Amino acid sequence: KQEVTQIPAALSVPEGENLVLNCSFTDSAIYNLQWFRQDPGKGLTSLLLIQSSQREQTSGRLNASLDKSSGRSTLYIAASQPGDSATYLCAVARGNKLVFGAGTILRVKS
């Protein structure tokens, strides 16, 4: 059974800091890995999708990497801003389904 773990569970950083969120998964036979953002009381918004054949994806200040062999992905956020405060979830795709981690709650202090 695929399990997805996200560390840390919560993170508080000052504005402007670069930060890394971690995601690990137990079964490397994945189709892709996705990072989502969830604002309080809202649904999920897709940030980045990395196909299993890719090593990384970039969008603006966000960079996500994927290492299937070690079962790890990282989400790098450069020059963090208060508007980046949210919960970040990773999900791995297998079969027709996504398996989600519990998320990292990020707070960026101004």
Q: CB 93 → other proteins: shortest distance, Å?
A: 4
Give yes or no for residue 13 binding other proteins (CB under 8 A): no
DSSP E strands, 8-80: 10-14, 19-25, 32-38, 44-51, 56-59, 62-67, 72-77
Site for other proteins in 20-59 (CB under 8 A): 31-32, 34, 36, 41-46, 49
- Break the chain down into helix, strand, coil percent, rounded to 5: 5, 60, 35
Site for other proteins in 58-97 (CB under 8 A): 89, 91, 93, 96-97
What tokens were used for 13? 């950083």
Catalog residues that contact other proteins under the rule CB under 8 A.
4, 31-32, 34, 36, 41-46, 49, 89, 91, 93, 96-103
